[in-house]
Amino acid sequence: MTDTARPVVSAGPFVHPALFYRTTGEYVATVGSFARAALAAGEPCLIAVPAYQLEALRPALGDTGDGVEFVDMTILGRNPGRILAALQGFADRHPGRAARIVGEPIWAGRSHAEILEATRHEALINTAFARRSATILCPYDVTALPMAVVADARRTHPTLWDDGKDLTSALYADPALVSADCDQPLPEPVGATALAYSTGQLAQIRHHAETWARSTALTPARQGDLVLAVSEATANSLAHGGGSGTLRLWTGENAAVIAEIHDDGHLSDPLAGRHRPRLASTGGGRGLWMIHQLCDLVEIRATEGGLTLRLHMTP
């Protein structure tokens, strides 16, 4: 494909294409054309991509970029579980208008665990936006990303933009199936401390987490975030996971801090925690949403053996 803009599909019913790009020029031309088409149509436009891509896009858009909202995806999407709520929030701020969004949740250097959760996010977009008028374009650098990531993009996007063509993805799969495929076994930790808990022990759990967190490389503020996340997770566990569970804490590579909560619960809604809860809401999902906001990565595994939440924080 030459480094020129390609025709851009009009926004209407939900459209979710993957853009397979090979050069920065191709990327800038296609994403820039997408944004200019949105502005020309009077449609709100959000570009959430890594900072180095924003640096390339801003000069290319020039003055027209003043009408675009730019977000660094390496910050917003550090935890992939935070992205969907942000995209929905952008669309919600423009009721009655078809939103155009560029979201690049996977880039070279992402860990395997992050890629799995970002792939889950890409699948769940199709469920969350199924009845909305929006277009979400997701770029994939096919020269830098593993072949497996590109293959999964074909499963999570109904259409593909590749080499100047709009294609129907023959490999597109049901979002629930893709999400289930992301439930790969979690690696067993080394050196974890374990605390079994049951109803009435929330204060003990919090004290245990606070004491342990002080031995880590987390700042005092992030120690507080960890304790809050653990408190929310174990409170949910006691309320919905059978009244008992196990908390494990350990440090991983590069001094990363990891907390795991396991119980006999289940997760019936794969979108739980990915919607921003309404202020007046008293239903489920509020605690899990808060956990996603606090942590750098949240891994969730729902199996016949119960529900596991693995929470990651980096110093």
Long-range contacts made by residues 298-304, C-beta under 8 angstroms, separation at least 24? Answer: 298/79, 298/81, 298/117, 298/273, 299/113, 299/116, 299/117, 299/186, 300/267, 301/183, 301/185, 301/186, 302/183, 302/266, 302/267, 303/183
Gap between the Cα atoms of 191 and 249, Å rounded: 9
pLDDT in tens, 134-151: 999 999 999 999 999 999
State which fold the 193-313 domain adopts: Heat Shock Protein 90 (3.30.565)
Is the C-alpha dihedral spanning 145, 149, 151, 153 positive or negative? negative
Per-residue model confidence as pLDDT tens digits over 249-296: 999 998 999 999 999 988 888 899 998 877 655 445 789 999 999 999
75-88 per-position pLDDT tens digit: 999 999 999 999 99
Q: Is the pTM of this model over 0.75?
A: yes
| Domain chopping of the chain, boundaries | 17-181, 193-313
> pLDDT over 90 for what percent of the chain?
81
Q: Tens of pLDDT along 227-240? A: 999 999 999 999 88
pLDDT value of residue 10: 45
More confident residue, 64 or 243: 243
Question: What pLDDT shows up at residue 278?
Answer: 73
CA angle 172, 126, 180 (to 5 degrees): 65
Nearest one of 249, 188, 239, 263 to 218, comparing CA atoms: 249
**SS3 of residue 141 by DSSP:** strand
User: What is the model's pLDDT at position 252?
Assistant: 93
Q: State pLDDT tens for residues 182-221.
A: 999 999 999 999 999 999 999 999 999 999 999 999 999 9
Residue 109 has a pLDDT of: 95
Q: What's the pLDDT at 7?
A: 42
Mean pLDDT is lowest, of 8-22, 102-116, 117-131, 172-186, for: 8-22
> Do the beta carbons of residue 209 and residue 247 sit within 8 Å?
yes
The chain-wide mean pLDDT, for the chain, equals: 92
How many Å apart are CA 212 and CA 289, to the nearest integer? 24
The CATH fold of domain 17-181: Rossmann fold (3.40.50)
Residue 218 φ then ψ, to 5°: -70, 145
E strand or H helix that includes residue 224: helix 220-240
Q: Do domains 17-181 and 193-313 have the same CATH topology?
A: no
Query: Which pLDDT value is given to residue 284?
Result: 53
